[in-house]
Amino acid sequence: MSFREDVFGSFVEIINMVIIMNLFSQEYLKHKVRLIICIFIMSVIIGVIDMMNMPSISLLNYLIVVIILGIVVKRNIFKILFELIFATAITISIEHVLVIIFYRVQGIESLDFTNRCIQLFITTLICISLGLNRKLQLKVQYFYEKYQEEFYLIAVTLFCFSMIELFLWKSNNELVFRQSAIISAYTAIWFALCLFLLKKLIENKKQKENIRLHEQYMETTENLLDGLYSEKHDFNKHLQAIQSLCEYEEANQAVKEIEQYIEDLKEREMNKRKSTVSINTGNGVVNALLYSKTKEAEKQDIQLYYVPSGTFPQFPCAQYELVQIIGNLLDNAFEYVAGLEKEQRRVMLSIRDLENKKQIEVRNTYCVEKSGQVSISQNKNSSTKIGERRGYGLQNVKAITGKYHGKFSIFQEENDFVNDFVVEVLFQ
């Protein structure tokens, strides 16, 4: 293969891999002109290295691709590495199948440059149909964000097998053709085992998640029971105080003091209700969660408000996922306002039907002086936070929202009286 042919083949193969990587993030194809120029540069470098017949050349080539993509896309190198590994396994598998089919039909002539271009063109069409499929992108991104560690493990095993197959091809392609049936069978078995392992890893993670959610429900229930026992204990104390007034005071004086005592209790209860959230949302699980969050807010001197909206909406997600969304949004809001002055620590939760959509909205006080390093990206529907508010859990919220084709938004609302940091989740 000539230098020109090698550069052309590398150029098309890298484009195919980047298109597959687009399943994980649309950042790869965001700057197309700059990307194509850099892919051409990478192809020339790879062509020069191939002419040197250096050892471990394939690993060196992929290292170059990872580094340059990291510069162009400005994405985490670690993520680029594993996403490239996965894309490599897919493209090599497609090319392997096409090479074997062409060899069976045309024999040794299938290896000439024209046939290789046809194979690369077919591979590109398959990669485009996969990498630019919007529905597939949403499913892959949800899976990738939720099961990232499991994906990394499977990607590595696929990459190792792909590198072995690539080494055999470059060392002795005639052997690959003669033993194509056996190699294809081993490839199919390897892929099947990887899928089985991935299935088991996901099931194990789901079990751990269910256990964690069960523990969270238990904690919420315990907090609710503790609150009820505490109120019962206080109620008994009040009865004892009233009984003592009846026993040791004159009738008229006792009546006056009891009335004053009851008025004080009513006033205290009204003040308490003003500073805490109403937990009557219409959903028992959410009520229990909000009761627990109310106790957290009280400990941190945070004013937590719930805006009642009548009937509780019918969300498409499961109950435990609804708890994850609301819990994570409140935790992020608490984390931010905890650094403000006490009178500024306000968080408001709204759950309602809005124009035939189901809305969850969390607002918290936004302090410009404190949040100078907070930036918001409407394109990414995410927030970039350095310092106090780090946005823990927002990726989980975004993943659940995407799973049910909802909309996840973060924005600021500023006026003369108060600035709000708003996180909104909408479901159809």
Domain of 326, CATH number, reads: 3.30.565.10
| Residue 227 lies inside a defined structural domain of this protein | no
Q: Which of 16-25, 137-146, 220-229 has the lowest mean pLDDT?
A: 220-229
**Average pLDDT estimate for 296-322:** 85
CB 327 within 8 A of CB 371: no
Q: Is residue 421 situated within a structural domain?
A: yes
Whether residue 1 has pLDDT greater than 90: no
| Residue 296: pLDDT over 70 | yes
64 part of a folded domain? yes
Average pLDDT over residues 188-206: 81
Nearest alpha-carbon partner for 346 in 277, 249, 410: 277
Distances (CA, A) of 190 to 83, 181, 184, 206, 273: 19, 14, 10, 24, 61
Same domain for 298 and 156, yes or no, is no
In a domain, 262, yes or no: no
| Average model confidence (pLDDT) across the chain | 79
User: Is residue 211 in some structural domain?
Assistant: no
Structural domain ending residue among the three candidates 178, 211, 233: 178
The structure tokens 């069960």 sit at 214
Same domain (yes/no): 172, 281: no
Q: Which of 145, 161, 178 delimits the end of a domain?
A: 178
For residues 140 and 30, state if they share a domain: yes
Residue 26 tokens, joined: 């649309």
Q: Are residues 52 and 168 in the same domain?
A: yes
CA distance 294 to 263: 25
294/166 same-domain check: no
Whether residues 20 and 153 share a domain: the answer is yes
Residue 221 lies in a domain: no
Q: Does residue 188 lie in a domain region?
A: no
What is the domain range of residue 368? 276-427
Q: Is 217 part of any domain?
A: no
Q: How confident is the model at residue 362 (pLDDT cuts 50, 70, 90)?
A: very high
Q: Does residue 418 share a domain with residue 290? A: yes
| 172 and 280 fall within a common domain | no
Instruction: Specify whether 27 is located in the same domain as 172.
Output: yes
Residue finishing a domain among 178, 210, 238? 178
Number of structural domains the chain divides into:
2
Looking at residues 365-390, what average pLDDT do you find?
49
- In terms of domains, do 35 and 164 share one? yes
Q: Angle at which helices 3-21 and 77-106 pack, to 10 degrees?
A: 120
Q: How confident is the model at residue 379 (pLDDT cuts 50, 70, 90)?
A: very low
